[in-house]
Structure 1
Amino acid sequence: MATREQGHGDLAERQAKLDSKYDIEVEQQVRVWMEMVTGEPIVPEMPQDVLLGPEAFQAALKDGMYLCHLMNAIVPGSCKPKKSKIAFMQMENIGQFLTACEKYGVKTVDMFQTVDLYDNTNFGAVIQTILALGRKCQSNNFAGPTLGPKESVAQPKEWTEEQLRQSHSIAPKWNQLDPSIPKSSGVNAGSRRQIIPDANQAQ
């Protein structure tokens, strides 16, 4: 099991917030999906009904080998990892997985940073990336097991010329343009200001 050096001050507070958002049930869903896709356990001789937890899960993925194995099961030949105990090589394996995810269509905003996994600073982000990969598998009609809800597809609204002309003819309401002006303010945009002469001065 991986051990992580404890931070202090702001770092410890930030890590505590990240840990508090970690969902062990989501982790289990991700783990089962990964093992179904690859056909191999993430941690050998560890039954699926025994929860791994972020520390053991991170230790199993840290060298990038299993992640690349997962990606190769989805897109054959997309990763070419090298088994090594050298930190640089392990991080390179993780980088190959992330590059393959991006090519597969996973958005960069959904992807973790290499240090999130390797240094175990934000393993929740790793889980979220695999969730995003699972959703993208459904969008790309992957024949294997599914994970999570299907990714939503943007449906841009197209307006006809007639609808656009009608929208231009609608006069905006003043209080909609500026909510700070109440309806009873008596403001009339575009009307002429009437000047009524003082009857006493007119004499």
Structure 2
Amino acid sequence: MAAKGVGMANKGPSYGLSRQVQDKIDSKYDPDLEQILVEWISRQCGSGVGKPEPGKQGFQAWLKDGCVLGQLINSLYVVDKPVKKIQSSGMAFKQMEQISQFLTAAESYGVTKTDMFQTVDLWEGKDLAAVQRTLSALGSLAVTKDDGTYLGDPNWFFKKAQENKRDFSEDQMKAGKNVIGLQMGSNKGASQEGMSYGRPRQIL
């Protein structure tokens, strides 16, 4: 545990990452998830992307220049690939640019902001657990969309609850409102005494 009661609740000023904080972040990195992600990405992108050395540093080195990430997000689109140009470069700004193109594309694909890592999380290795979280969210979306582009094992990722409003057409939204209207407006078979307002009804 953290010394001197410095818990998660204590959000005092932070002066750079202490070793202890970094260890805490690192402890969230999941080696089992790493294996699933590596397996998925290599199936999704083909053998050309190779596989990293096992472990966090290997995982980071594999994804750091943004090429594998670009191929991954492109593989989830049949037409209109979002990352137009993927090229290996030793230049830092080029690598970061490719990572950020992946992040933009992943967000358009449906990954929520809260599941998104920051470029430095990957590039500087600040938070590789966050990178895993983004890739898991992407995998879950790919499984959920079920549009034929996902090439992994469907059991690797949880299907997401379809809460993304943009996926619903106007007609579906209207139909949904009608259903709610019917439930609210008509109390068929429910007498007023069944609707006691004093205490919450037991929903069995």
TM-score for the superposition, normalised by structure 1: 0.69
The alpha-carbon deviation at position 171 of structure 1 amounts to: 4.1
Q: Which residue does 2:64 correspond to in 1?
A: 62
1:135 aligns with 2:140: yes
Q: Aligned-pair distance for 1:41?
A: 5.8
Partner residue, 1:72:
74
Fraction of identical pairs, as percent = 35
- In the alignment, structure 1 residue 23 sits paired with structure 2 residue 18: no
**Candidates 29, 37, 41, aligned match of 1:34:** 41
Q: How many residues align?
A: 161
Per-residue deviation, 1:42: 4.5
**Would you say the 8 A contact 1:31–1:42 is kept in 2?**
no
Please say if residues 29 and 132 of structure 2, whose CA atoms lie closer than 8 Å, have aligned partners that are also in contact: no
Could you tell me how far 1:172 is from its partner in structure 2?
Answer: 2.6
The equivalent residue for 1:5 is: none
* Structure 2 unmatched runs, 5+: 1-14, 164-175
* 1:14 aligned residue: 21
- In the alignment, does 2:161 pair up with 1:152? yes
Instruction: Tell me, in whole angstroms, the C-alpha distance in 1 between the residues paired with 2:126 and 2:49.
Output: 20
Superposed displacement of residue 95, structure 1: 0.7
Contact kept? 2:42, 2:50, Cα under 8 Å: no
Work out whether residues 122 and 128 of structure 2, in 8 Å CA contact, stay in contact via their aligned partners in 1. Answer: yes
CA RMSD of aligned residues (A): 2.8
User: Aligned pair in 2 of structure 1 residues 166, 40: CA closer, same or farther (>3 Å)?
Assistant: farther
- Higher gyration radius (CA): 1
Q: Secondary structure at the match of 1:160?
A: helix
Contact 1:72 1:78 in 2 (8 A): yes
* 1:36-80 C-alpha deviation (Å, 9 max, x unpaired): 111126545x6xxxx611101101110101100111111152112
2:87 is equivalent to residue 82 of structure 1:
yes
Alpha-carbon spacing, 1:142–1:12, altered in 2? closer, same or farther (3 Å)? farther
SS of structure 1 residue aligned to 2:47: coil
Unmatched 5+ stretches in structure 1: 1-7, 177-203
